[in-house]
Each structure stands twice: as structure tokens, then as C-alpha cells.
């Protein structure tokens, strides 16, 4: 077996912390291991993959022989020990690093078994214990995993295929990354004996990224139906290659599963089969929404919880030709048109401080306030103004935005669709902030009935989505051990804690939009292994050399 040396940082409690009045018992749960600079799992039930070899444990202070007496590596334990185990796993040894006085070397090469092994590192500081969990994986284990047939799920999202106008005008979010996506889909086809399914987790198409004042659902600037507009997007030469390649994935025996996003909510089962064949599976529980549930994992685009982006079946009934049968369009349509116009002129992003919150914890604390009409309207005005700050376009207040969809027929200017102050009353969305209507909308969209309007109003803004998901939506729900979201374009993979002392894995797929349309890593995918070794979740990226590489260490559940 090839010797591997990987740096792991162990943040130990030091005397200086005690001198400033900190209680070691309060600090211990925050102490973590780092693998290649990334956080190791201190969450029970979730492990970080680590190859067998010599592992460097880096302390925050100098170490001596006494530290070695308080370190143990044992088989995985799901509880914090109260007594230091008598010994480590056979074949494990600790020694001081002769070249670094703040490091201990953990030698795993003496382990006789070549199977993957779930372990817990235990460090005793006085009467307290720090535990961190990892899956030791020998070189041969990765090969054995790959030899198992049909055990992998690939998940991608946020590709944003746009129409010919967008390609010619260069405002499409997906131009440069097209060949890399084709390469990734070819990779799946070449390994069809390993992959069970490809999940398209929303926003494969983009129905709304069109600068003002162009019409939205249009071909050669002539308005068409939503379905015909999606067909026109699919006919664009570069997009047709993507559509054909996804059909090849389906034909190769890899189940294609489609979950709608907020930018492609017009896709339905008939259109899906038209594009990808009758074998493709459409997952939807409400028009424009869907959750793919398999065993104890759930995947969805995640705009279900979003005030701006989720279906709005109530606000505009009675305006233009909006009725109970066609009411659907949230205010996202107008924010997207502004963003598309801004994107055409230069990308600007909102900052965390724009919303008046210094930290995620401050935001979550504020979200505990009971929703009222007054509070919700204030939040709505704040969010609308932040959108304008982040995506401002000169002359936006006089620009007429064409509609012609979901019952809206007129063109509208800014103060007719946006809340510019709590005193203003735009023509559209006059009731969307009312708490009673928000609760009806949550029920319609199959979202939690107690989800606060405040969180929903800023759900799609980075960095809130993932924080809200892990702290509010799944932090206490033990139904799922794996949650995969999309929507934010930010790739993300973390081990998360629950109140039941059992952890879960949370991932975000990221996106395939071009780098000039995103400030985060792009061309990313979530890969899930479900086999005899347990469940492994990896975050992958197709790099500019057409090589698929990992973005983070894999996480495991047993």
C-alpha cells in the first residue's frame, strides 16, 4: 500500500483560553479536526474520508510525551466517552514529530485489515474529551467500491440553457461551460455500469433571464406560449447537444430524474418525455416544485421556501387577466428581469450587511419573531431595495417590463411591482406580505406552515439558503440522513448536527453557469455512493483541463 501523509489540524484547548475566563467545557464542542485544511466531522454518525497512511495532528501549542498518553484511535463510537479507552486499535501508533514541536504523527500503516474502517479519534484534556470521526480508506477500498455495479447517483443543477437571443447577445449564463458539461455527461455514459441515476435538480432551462425591455416568452421577438418557448430553447444548437447527450444518458440505462426549479417551472412530464424520452422520470408535487425522496435522503431545488421564487397563486388575482386558474408568478419574474439587465451591463452581488445582519446567528435569532403584516411588509420593502442596490440599472424606474404570462398582460414600471417603501402600494403583489396569505401559500406549496416570512424573503440570497436549511428546516427532523439542495449556485458539503445527537449530511450541487456569471466554483456535481461500504457523498468539479476532481473530502454515513 502506498504511504500517504496528510495534514490534519487538531485544535486543542490551551491554557491561555482558561486565563481569559473561558470554561473548557463550553469550548470543547467547537474543537475540530481538519483534513487537508477542511473541517473533520465532530458530528456523530457522519465521518470524513481519510486514506490510510501517516496523518499529522497539528496542535495549537507545543506538545510533549504527555499528550501521547491522552490520544486514542478506536473503532467508531456514537457517544462521547467518559473514560479514556485503555488502548488504540491494533496497529495504530502515535509519536512526536521530530521536525515540528506542535505535531503528533498518527501511523495507520500497521492496520492489518484492508477494509474501510470507521474510527474515532479521542483526545483527553484534563477531565474533558474531544472526539472526531473519520473513515479510513485504503487504496484498495476505492477500487473495490468502484467495482460494485449500479451504486452511484449523480446530481447536477442550475445549468440555465437560454434562447438564441441570449446566446447571440452574450447575456446567457451558460455559453463557455457547454463543452465541460458534455464531457461530464460522456463520463457518466462511459461508466453506465456504475451509475443508477442522474438527478437534474432544477434550472436546466432558463425561462426568465432576459434583459428589459425584451419580451420573455418570444422567438424572434414574437411572443409564444411557455411550452413553445422551452422548445425554442432546446432547439438552440449548443443546447441541442446538451439535450441529446442527456437523452444518451437515459438510453445508456442511467435513470434521468427531473425536478423543476424556479427558472424552468414550465417543464412538465409531457415536455420532459419529448426532450429525453419516455423513460425519464418527472418528480413534482406542486406545479413548479418537486422533492425527490429515496430511502432516507431528499433532494429538491429548494425554492419551495422562497417568498420571491416559489409559486404565488394568490397575490395578483383580479389584475389584468389573472384568475385562480392561471395565478402562479412570483415577484421573482421582475427581480430576474432586473438582474438580467444588470448582468448584461456588469455583475454586482448583494452583501450580507445589506440586510442589516452581521452574522447568520443574528439572522436566525431575528427569524424567531412571530410574523405580522407590519413586520412582513417592512421585510418586503427592505428586500426590494436590496435587490435594487445589488442589481441597479440606470433608468430602471422608468423601464417598462413586458409580461404576457400567467394572466399578466401589461408592461409595468418599477413602482407598480416593487415595494420601495412601507408606505407605497404597488399595483402588483399588494397582499403577498400578509401573514394569512403567506400561511396559505406555504400550505399550497407543501412547505412547513410555521416557516417565517423573514427567512422566506431572503432565502435565495447567498449565504442564507444553506444556513436556513441546516438550522431551521432539517436541524431537528431526523427523517433524512442526506439532504441535497440547489438554487444558490454555491457548492457545499457539510456534516451537520441534530438535537438527537445523530448527524446528517447536507450538500448543495452548485452550478454549471459560466464563471463570469458567478463568484463561486462552477461546473460542480454531487456524487452519492450507496453500497455495501455505507453511503459516501462527494462534491466534484470538472476543471478546465476536462478532469473530474474532488472539491472536498468525502463524507460517509455508516
Are 419 and 378 within 8 A, CB to CB?
Answer: no
For residue 401, give the nearest of 211, 254, 261, 556 by alpha carbon: 211
Q: Which three three-digit cell numbers place residue 102?
A: 506542535
Q: How far is it, in rounded angstroms, from Cα 498 to Cα 474?
A: 8
| Pair (29, 167) in one structural domain | no
Instruction: Put residue 357 in one of left, alpha, beta given phi > 0 → left and psi -120 to 50 → alpha.
Output: beta
Q: Is the pLDDT of residue 242 over 50?
A: yes
* Residue 474 falls inside a structural domain: no
Domain boundary among 142, 160, 182: 142
- Find the mean pLDDT for residues 508-533: 92
The CATH number of the domain holding residue 38 is 2.60.40
Q: Which three three-digit cell numbers place residue 2?
A: 502506498
Domain boundary among 93, 112, 142: 142
| Pair (291, 201) in one structural domain | yes
| Pair (180, 100) in one structural domain | no
Domain range enclosing 263? 148-299+510-558
Task: Please count the other Cβ atoms lying within 10 Å of the Cβ belonging to residue 110.
Answer: 11
Q: How far is it, in rounded angstroms, from Cα 211 to Cα 225?
A: 19
| Pair (157, 129) in one structural domain | no
| Pair (154, 120) in one structural domain | no
| Pair (403, 448) in one structural domain | yes
Is the sign of the CA dihedral 327, 332, 336, 342 positive or negative?
Answer: positive
The angle subtended at Cα 80 by Cα 74 and Cα 84, nearest 5°, is: 55
Domain boundary among 126, 142, 158: 142
* Residue 473 falls inside a structural domain: no
The angle subtended at Cα 62 by Cα 59 and Cα 67, nearest 5°, is: 70
CA separation, residue 346 to residues 340, 392, 485 (Å): 10, 10, 28
Residue with cell 478506536: 74
pLDDT digits (tens, 9 = 90+) for 405-461: 999 999 999 999 999 887 878 999 999 999 999 999 999 999 998 899 988 988 877
Q: Which of 13-17, 219-223, 257-261 has the lowest mean pLDDT?
A: 13-17
Contact partners, residue 166, CB within 8 Å, separation at least 6: 172, 206, 209, 210
| Pair (435, 543) in one structural domain | no
If one counts the domains in the chain, the total is 3
What single-letter DSSP state applies at residue 234? Answer: H
Q: Which of the four pLDDT bands, split at 50, 70 and 90, describes residue 358?
A: low
3-state helix/strand/coil string of 71-138: EEEEECCCCCCCCCCCCCCCCCEEEECCCCCCEEEEECCCCCCCCCEEEEEEEEECCEEEEEEEEEEC
Q: Is the pLDDT of residue 63 over 70?
A: yes
Q: How far is it, in rounded angstroms, from Cα 542 to Cα 180?
A: 7
* Residue 230 falls inside a structural domain: yes
Contact partners, residue 255, CB within 8 Å, separation at least 6: 196, 197, 198, 279, 280, 281
* Residue 443 falls inside a structural domain: yes
* Residue 463 falls inside a structural domain: no
| Pair (293, 153) in one structural domain | yes
| Pair (110, 234) in one structural domain | no
| Pair (232, 284) in one structural domain | yes
User: According to the model, what pLDDT value does residue 336 have?
Assistant: 92
pLDDT digits (tens, 9 = 90+) for 376-394: 998 898 888 888 877 778 8
Q: Is the peptide bond before 240 cis (omega within 30 degrees of 0)?
A: no
Is the sign of the CA dihedral 218, 219, 224, 229 positive or negative?
Answer: negative
* Residue 340 falls inside a structural domain: no
* Residue 158 falls inside a structural domain: yes
Is the sign of the CA dihedral 419, 422, 425, 430 positive or negative?
Answer: positive
The CATH number of the domain holding residue 254 is 3.60.21.40
pLDDT digits (tens, 9 = 90+) for 184-209: 999 999 999 999 999 999 999 999 99
| Pair (189, 290) in one structural domain | yes
Is the sign of the CA dihedral 138, 143, 149, 155 positive or negative?
Answer: positive
Amino acid at each position: 500500500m502506498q504511504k500517504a501523509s496528510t495534514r490534519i489540524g487538531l485544535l486543542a484547548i490551551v491554557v491561555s483560553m482558561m486565563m481569559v475566563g473561558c470554561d473548557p467545557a463550553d469550548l470543547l464542542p467547537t474543537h475540530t479536526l481538519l483534513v487537508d485544511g477542511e473541517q473533520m466531522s465532530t458530528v456523530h454518525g457522519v465521518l470524513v474520508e481519510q486514506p490510510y497512511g501517516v496523518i499529522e495532528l497539528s496542535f495549537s501549542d507545543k506538545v510533549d510525551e504527555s499528550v501521547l498518553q491522552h490520544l486514542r484511535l478506536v473503532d467508531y463510537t456514537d457517544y462521547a466517552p467518559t473514560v479514556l479507552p485503555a488502548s488504540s486499535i491494533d496497529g495504530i501508533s502515535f509519536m512526536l514529530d521530530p521536525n515540528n514541536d506542535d505535531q503528533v504523527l498518527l501511523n495507520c500503516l500497521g492496520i492489518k485489515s484492508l477494509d474501510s474502517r470507521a474510527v474515532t479519534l479521542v483526545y483527553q484534556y484534563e477531565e474533558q474529551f474531544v472526539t472526531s470521526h473519520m473513515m479510513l480508506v485504503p487504496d484498495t477500498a476505492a477500487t473495490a467500491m468502484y467495482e460494485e455495479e449500479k451504486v452511484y447517483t449523480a446530481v447536477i443543477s442550475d445549468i440555465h440553457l437560454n434562447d438564441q437571443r441570449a446566446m447571440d447577445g452574450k447575456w446567457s449564463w451558460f455559453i463557455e461551460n457547454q463543452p465541460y458539461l458534455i464531457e461530464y455527461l460522456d463520463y457518466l455514459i462511459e461508466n453506465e455500469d456504475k451509475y443508477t441515476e442522474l438527478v437534474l435538480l432544477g434550472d436546466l432551462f432558463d425561462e426568465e433571464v432576459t434583459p428589459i425591455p425584451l419580451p420573455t416568452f418570444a422567438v424572434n421577438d414574437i411572443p409564444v406560449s411557455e411550452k413553445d418557448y422551452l422548445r425554442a430553447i432546446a432547439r438552440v444548437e449548443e443546447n441541442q447537444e446538451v439535450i441529446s447527450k442527456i437523452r444518451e444518458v437515459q438510453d445508456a440505462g442511467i435513470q434521468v430524474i427531473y425536478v423543476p426549479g424556479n427558472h424552468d417551472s414550465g417543464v412538465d412530464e409531457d415536455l420532459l418525455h419529448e426532450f429525453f424520452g419516455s423513460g425519464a422520470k418527472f418528480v413534482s408535487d406542486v406545479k413548479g416544485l418537486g422533492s425527490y425522496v429515496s430511502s432516507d435522503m431528499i433532494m429538491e431545488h429548494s425554492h419551495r421556501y422562497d417568498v420571491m421564487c416559489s409559486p404565488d397563486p394568490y397575490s395578483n388575482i383580479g389584475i389584468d387577466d389573472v384568475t385562480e386558474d392561471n395565478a402562479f408568478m412570483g415577484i421573482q419574474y421582475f427581480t430576474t428581469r432586473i438582474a438580467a439587465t444588470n448582468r448584461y451591463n456588469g455583475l454586482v452581488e448583494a452583501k450580507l450587511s445589506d440586510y442589516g445582519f452581521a452574522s447568520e446567528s443574528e439572522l436566525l435569532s431575528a427569524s424567531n419573531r412571530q410574523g405580522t403584516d407590519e413586520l412582513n411588509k417592512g421585510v418586503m420593502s427592505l428586500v426590494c431595495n436590496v435587490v435594487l442596490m445589488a442589481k441597479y440599472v440606470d433608468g430602471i424606474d422608468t423601464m417598462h417590463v413586458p409580461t404576457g404570462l400567467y394572466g399578466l398582460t401589461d408592461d409595468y414600471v418599477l413602482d407598480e411591482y416593487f415595494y420601495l417603501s412601507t408606505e407605497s402600494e404597488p399595483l402588483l403583489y399588494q397582499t403577498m406580505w400578509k401573514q394569512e396569505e403567506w400561511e396559505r401559500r406555504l400550505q399550497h406549496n407543501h412547505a412547513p406552515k410555521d416557516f417565517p416570512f423573514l427567512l422566506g424573503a431572503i432565502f435565495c440570497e447567498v449565504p442564507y439558503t444553506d444556513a436556513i436549511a441546516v438550522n431551521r428546516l432539517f436541524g431537528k427532523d431526523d427523517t433524512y440522513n442526506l439532504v441535497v439542495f440547489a438554487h444558490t449556485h454555491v457548492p457545499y458539503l457539510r456534516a451537520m448536527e441534530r438535537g438527537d445527537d445523530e448527524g446528517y449530511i447536507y450538500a448543495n450541487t452548485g452550478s454549471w453557469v459560466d464563471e463570469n456569471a458567478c463568484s463561486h466554483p462552477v461546473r460542480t456535481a454531487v456524487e452519492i455512493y450507496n453500497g455495501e461500504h455505507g453511503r459516501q457523498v462527494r462534491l466534484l468539479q470538472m476543471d478546465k483541463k476536462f478532469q473530474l476532481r474532488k472539491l472536498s473530502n468525502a463524507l460517509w454515513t455508516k
